[in-house]
């Protein structure tokens, strides 16, 4: 499994854009990059997934450079309700065992 | 559509007692997973069912843990006898497929406290 490194915590204010960068230097050819979000007292929730370049959905954008050794989750115009732990996961397309690291605790303040 | 549900939400038991956790996956999801986070640690995979069959038990910590999924619907995870180090949050998840690209839907978890 590719090891991931992401910041332990980030602080932001409502309305700002939050960018969380995850490093995965030993990512393999068949690996996908997936981000999950976890609110207090809830289970993780899938946010976005990508292989290369850029992916965007209604919640976030995921930027992946050509070498794929890192990725950046972008949360546009955050609100207080975006306060959560965000996990970067890297895994083979055939691997169903999700491997969660420590995640990044994002705190959004008014 | 209902999401993954888990029961109970909290359980407090004495060391040596037995506890059974229940998970109801999303209807139609053949794949069911158990994960757990013990105190101060990361969320770790325990096991995977496809319908009623155990496909992968590689994450089960020891033989005090027994998971079942009779009929391929809901699943139970029994801990017998419970030890202090079993305290943590147990999550259940389900998915339609087993590809690494398949989104796993998680339940809210069961917080287990062993005293």
φ, ψ of residue B25 in degrees (nearest 5): -75, 175
Candidates B9, B44, B100: best to mutate against A (most CBs of A within 10 A) is B100
Chain A residues in contact with B102 (beta carbon < 8 A): 96
d(CA A22, CA A60): 15
φ, ψ of residue A46 in degrees (nearest 5): -60, 135
Residue partners of A96: CB distance under 8 A and separation at least 6 = B31, B33, B48, B95, B98, B99, B100, B102, B104
d(CA A11, CA A21): 14
Residue A54 CB coordination number (10 Å): 11
d(CA B114, CA B88): 9
Distances A63 to A17, A88, A103, B14, B61 between C-alpha atoms, Å? 14, 13, 18, 48, 37
Please indicate whether, in this complex, the C-beta atoms of A97 and B43 are within 8 angstroms of each other: no
Are B15 and B81 in contact by the 8 Å Cβ rule? The answer is yes
DSSP 8-state assignment for residue A110: -
Report the chain B residue with the minimal C-alpha distance to residue A47. B103
Chain B residues in contact with A97 (beta carbon < 8 A): 45, 48, 56, 58-59
Model confidence band, residue A87 (pLDDT cutoffs 50, 70, 90): very high
Of A8-17, A38-47, B4-13, B97-106, minimum mean pLDDT range = B97-106
d(CA A8, CA A22): 11
Model confidence band, residue B100 (pLDDT cutoffs 50, 70, 90): low
d(CA B107, CA A11): 27
Report the chain B residue with the minimal C-alpha distance to residue A93. B100
d(CA B60, CA B75): 15
Handedness of CA B58, B60, B66, B71 (dihedral sign): negative
Percent of chain A topping pLDDT 90:
87
Report the chain A residue with the minimal C-alpha distance to residue B94. A96
Residue A21 has pLDDT above 80, yes or no: yes
């Amino acid at each position: 499994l590719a090891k991931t490194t992401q910041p332990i915590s980030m602080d932001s204010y409502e309305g700002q854009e939050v960018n969380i960068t995850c490093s995965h230097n030993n990512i393999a050819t068949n690996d996908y990059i997936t981000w999950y979000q976890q609110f207090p007292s809830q289970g993780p929730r899938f946010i976005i997934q990508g292989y290369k370049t850029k992916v965007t959905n209604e919640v976030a954008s995921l930027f992946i450079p050509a070498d794929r050794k890192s990725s950046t989750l972008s949360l546009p115009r955050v609100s207080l309700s975006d306060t959560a732990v965000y996990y970067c996961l890297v895994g083979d397309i055939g691997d169903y065992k999700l491997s969660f690291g420590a995640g990044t605790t994002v705190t959004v303040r008014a | 559509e209902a999401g993954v549900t888990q029961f109970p939400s909290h359980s407090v038991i004495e060391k040596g007692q037995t506890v059974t956790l229940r998970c109801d996956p999303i209807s139609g999801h053949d794949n069911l997973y158990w994960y757990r986070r013990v105190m101060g640690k990361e969320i770790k995979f325990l096991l995977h069912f496809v319908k009623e069959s155990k496909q992968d038990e590689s994450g089960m910590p020891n033989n005090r843990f027994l998971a079942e999924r009779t009929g391929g619907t809901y699943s139970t995870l029994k801990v017998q006898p419970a030890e202090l180090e079993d305290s943590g949050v147990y999550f259940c998840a389900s998915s339609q497929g087993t590809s690494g690209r398949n989104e796993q839907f998680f339940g809210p978890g069961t917080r287990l406290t062993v005293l």
